[in-house]
Amino acid sequence: MTVAASLDRLDACLARARPGVREDALLAPAASDCLEMVRAYRTDAAVFAARDDPVNALAALAYACGWLDAALVLGLLDGTETGAGLLRGTVPGRHAARLGEKARRYAAMLGSAALSAGPAPDPASPAHAAALTVVAVARAFHGAAAALLAGGDCEASVQVSSYAHGWLDAGVRSGLLAVGGDRSLFAV
């Protein structure tokens, strides 16, 4: 699949996405924020692709998909999950050095962010279990990103790191996660 085809798939998911909470609900702003972030990073991905910047296009696209999938799973949005798969062969060799640098940096940032974020809700609340799930997703994807990076698959690693970071940021923005460390690692 190409970046363009993935953007089309994300557009189809966005066309079906609706707030999962009432307009006057206390979590309505969180749902709105998630949808806004998906749209913003989808736009960024298209701009990067048009400017022949496939490295940032991949990262922005995966990040947008992470935000959308997390918001859907958390119930902030209703719609269809992205079914985001890894794009292969979209970064020409002339971008290999930048891709490698970004993959290393993003895997490290994801690892730091996953350690810095923890459940905000009380352990006895159902929301605590949801928060633990968001952290578990991020940590599992960090392990996958690190393994892909160690195996030399920088293209997949940057996508996995970006997708998982979207989950973490959606968790923080929704109030499920509290940042206990470096706040600059999060979109808050």
State pLDDT tens for residues 45-62. Answer: 999 999 999 999 999 999
- Structural contact between residues 188 and 180, judged by C-beta atoms closer than 8 angstroms: no
pLDDT tens track for 97-118? 999 999 999 999 999 999 999 9
pTM: 0.95
Inform me whether the pLDDT recorded for 136 exceeds 90. Answer: yes
- Say how many C-beta atoms besides its own lie within 10 A of residue 114's C-beta: 24
Q: Using one digit for the tens of pLDDT, what is the confidence trace for 139-179?
A: 999 999 999 999 999 999 999 999 999 999 999 999 999 99
pLDDT at residue 86, as a whole number: 81
Please tell me the predicted confidence (pLDDT) of residue 90. Answer: 86
Q: Would you state the pLDDT for residue 181?
A: 86
For residue 82, name the pLDDT band (cuts at 50, 70, 90).
confident
DSSP assignment of the chain equals: --HHHHHHHHHHHHHH-EESS-TTSTTHHHHHHHHHHHHHHHHHHHHHHHTT-HHHHHHHHHHHHHHHHHHHHHTSEES---------S-S-GGGHHHHHHHHHHHHHHHHHHHHHEEE-S-TTSHHHHHHHHHHHHHHHHHHHHHHHHHTT-HHHHHHHHHHHHHHHHHHHHTTSEEE-S-GGGS--
Q: Residue 87: its pLDDT value, please?
A: 86
Q: How confident is the model at residue 129 (pLDDT cuts 50, 70, 90)?
A: very high
User: Is residue 40's pLDDT more than 80?
Assistant: yes
